[in-house]
Amino acid sequence: MASQLAFKSRIESTQSLAKIFKAQEMIAASHIAKARSVALDAKPYSDAIDDAMMSLVAHTKISHPIFEKKEKNNPNVAVMAITADRGMAGAYTSSIIRETEGLLSRLDQDGKKPELYVFGRRGVSYYKYRNRDVEQTWEGDSDKPGVEVAEKISKALLDAYMKPAAKGGVSELYIVFTEFINMVVQKVRILRMLPVELVEHSDAEQEADAALGETVGQDKIPPLYTFEPSAEEVLDAVLPRYVQSRIHECLLTSAASETASRQNAMHTATDNANDLIDELTRKLNASRQASITQELTEIISSADALSKEE
């Protein structure tokens, strides 16, 4: 059995870690309400512009890069992974990296050439350590992303999308991020941002809408649009706003997911540290009891020996 000094040292170090974990949990808990509110407030605007794009795809026959690229045989594809700047968030970053690696493998199997873009210091460090080619990276404020960083990212990705294939342009744009569902559930999602594609409602989704009292059929058809001065000019103005809005929404929901993951991870780590302290304390008490018992046994044995000599 280990010495009492070793047990005391381990208990003290574990108590220090438990204090750190508890402090990190309290910091994350103080940030999660605002992060969740900001992410949920931004979602309606992002959904509105996404619905508008879906309506345009469904009701227009306009040839525009927002719907399709003229160079259909271009194999270059951009993949943007949104990770965290800091650790101590459980499996948050590793889940995103795992999903990104799966997407890159599927694109390679389809004969495409993915180009990787990474946001977040943890993801950047991961790919640098493995000598993976990364087109562009962004670091800082992963837990509080502002409009400025969303604008920088959207400009870089849109420039890559609008370039011709001869100059290294891409034909598709994917975003890998974590969607905030609630405090317990955060789901890693892959979003194909460009070109915009129409997603048909499945029978199950239509039945669910009907169960909620929503009409299915003509009432579900998105509204038609008229363009002034022209469809091309309107779409040219909408495209950068659409990309920036979706990227900003992805950054915000990822920030809320990161904070929630950190709070849950630190809560679990604090509980585990306290359980370890209890276990070490029991072992320390057992060691102390064994030492006392041994000392008593030695005293009694010595007393017996002295009495026999007399």
User: Which domains, and CATH codes, for the chain?
Assistant: 22-199+225-264 (3.40.1380.10)
Give CA–CA dist 42/251, Å, rounded. 10
- pLDDT tens digits, residue range 178-220? 998 888 888 999 998 888 876 554 444 444 344 434 444 444 5
pLDDT on residue 105 = 94
- pLDDT tens digits, residue range 181-191? 888 888 999 99
Q: How many C-beta atoms surround the C-beta of residue 174 within 10 A? A: 21
Element (H, E) at 115: strand 113-119
For each successive 10 residues of the chain (310 residues), what is the average pLDDT?
80 91 87 84 80 72 73 86 90 93 93 93 92 91 86 92 86 92 88 76 44 43 66 80 89 92 91 92 87 81 72
- Strand 136-138 relative to strand 172-180, pairing: unpaired
Please give the single-letter amino acid code of residue 308.
K
Give the residue from 14, 68, 23, 84 showing the smallest Cα distance to 239.
Answer: 68
Burial 207-220 (b: 16+ CB within 10 A, else e): eeeeeeeeeeeeee
Strand residues in 120-253 grouped as ranges (E): 136-138, 172-180, 186-194
Element (H, E) at 276: helix 231-309
pLDDT on residue 55 = 72
> 191 with 253: CB under 8 angstroms?
no
pTM for the whole thing?
Answer: 0.78
pLDDT on residue 305 = 74
Q: How many C-beta atoms surround the C-beta of residue 225 within 10 A? A: 12
Q: Please, how many CA atoms are within 13 Å of residue 181, restricted to the half-sphere of its CB?
A: 6
SS3 177: strand
